[in-house]
Amino acid sequence: MNARAAAPPRVLLVDDQVDLLRAYGRALSAAGNAVESAPDGEAAVELLKSGDYDVVVSDIGMPRLDGLALLREVRALNLDLPVVLMTGEPSVTSASRAIEHGALRYLVKPVDLGELARVVDYAARLYRMARVRREAFDALDHVGLPVGDRAGLEVRFGDALSNLWMAHQPIVSWQVKRVVAFEELLRSDETSMPDPTALLDAAERLDRIHALGRTVRQRVASGARVAPEATQIFVNLHARDLLDDQLYEPMAPLSRIAERVVLEITERAPLDEVKDLRRRIAALRELGFRIALDDLGAGYAGLTTFAQLEPEIVKLDMSLIRGLDREPSKRKIVASMTGLCRDLGATVVAEGIETEGERDEAVACGCDWLQGFLFARPSRRHAAVAFSR
């Protein structure tokens, strides 16, 4: 057993009622805890920044920084630290918010001192387990989103937005040996959300898709100033982005460069929740945007979706392109899809090109443009492409 586990649990007790603060402190100290007290949430935050605690016990109803706000501050500092909230005015709303934001327990005043001691003991044991689990998680080099409660997720999502950047991947025309566009791909330096899937998952769970979409569009618009001239800019939209009124504002950052921008709408997500889809797509075209149907062959889109979008550009999913030079059945499918798309007036992009064989077969099947690691990986800089065979 290490020294940390053998030491008495350190409890931070927070309450603006001095008599209760003393009573609870005596009871927890008698139960074998090392107790420090704070008369309000702001003082508690300062102690948390400089101290190492096993449990926080706080009243909800305090001036300035209340218990729920304190809980969010705790999560900004420590994802695992258990927080027990107490209130003399219980309500369904405060209880649901407490649980939603990751409070371990919600106790109603006057709190039985024996029950308080038992809850704190349980919380301290859980915290020891949480520390060991996180150490194991880090030691195994897992990549993912190790945040289980809303407050922790909000903190990490906010950090991810602040550290968000766009990686650029070229799209080429092999026939004329030229880079025709760059796709803007979502990235963040926030280590708990290192890939787009984790960040999108967090945005969906927090109902922050619009915040994410707006940040992406701002970053893309800013980066467009240094993009090579005469190249188009491909930007991915989540289905719910189509419900964001800011997307349609003429003075929005991306709208100002709409003539260069292709908005990619994935086939992997259903568009059923987007009412008046055809009208919304028409409004985007009036601003100057063009529309691409992304991941064709991978998901939901049928004739109705294709008809509503009437995409100028279609991107074939990489699952169709992978091994194209080795699988005759794929070549037939890709050639047929390419022919049909071109008959409908759409430019066809083959995604996921990794080998010269896939490149040559995609061109032979009629694909207009190509994208993939063979030409360049996504990077912070707009990479040049070597067109030597």
Q: What digits encode the pLDDT tens for the residues 78-128? A: 878 889 999 988 887 877 777 766 788 889 998 999 999 999 998 888 888
379 lies in some domain: no
Q: Token pair for residue 254?
A: 């991306």
CA-to-CA distance for 118 and 120, rounded, in angstroms?
A: 5
Task: Give yes or no: residues 154 and 70 share one domain.
Answer: no
- Which residues have C-beta within 8 Å of that of residue 304, sequence separation ≥ 6? none
Determine, yes or no, domain membership for 376: no
> According to the model, what pLDDT value does residue 19 have?
92
Judgement on whether residues 221 and 288 belong to the same structural domain of the protein: yes
Low-confidence ranges of the chain (pLDDT < 70): 1-6, 100-101, 130, 132-149, 267-269, 298-305, 389
Kindly state the helix (H) or strand (E) to which residue 342 belongs, with its residue range. helix 328-343
Same domain, 277 and 314: yes
Statement to judge: residues 77 and 214 lie in one domain = no
Please indicate, yes or no, whether residues 217 and 180 belong to a single structural domain of this protein: yes
If asked whether residues 104 and 186 sit together in one domain, one would say no
- Considering the domain architecture, whether residues 257 and 362 belong to the same structural domain is answered as yes
Query: At a CB cut-off of 8 Å and minimum separation 6, what does 25 contact?
Result: 13, 35, 37
Same domain? For 85 and 115 the reply is yes
**Residue 224 belongs to what domain range?**
150-371
Say if residue 185 is in the same domain as residue 88: no
Indicate which CATH number applies to the domain containing 74: 3.40.50.2300
Residue 259 lies in a domain: yes
- Tell me how far apart the terminal alpha carbons of the chain are, to the nearest angstrom: 63
Overall domain count for the chain = 2
What pTM did the predictor assign?
0.70
Q: Are residues 132 and 156 in the same domain?
A: no
Q: What is the CATH number of the domain that holds 305?
A: 3.20.20.450
383 falls within a domain: no
Instruction: With CA atoms as reference, report the closest residue to 292 among 215, 240, 351.
Output: 351
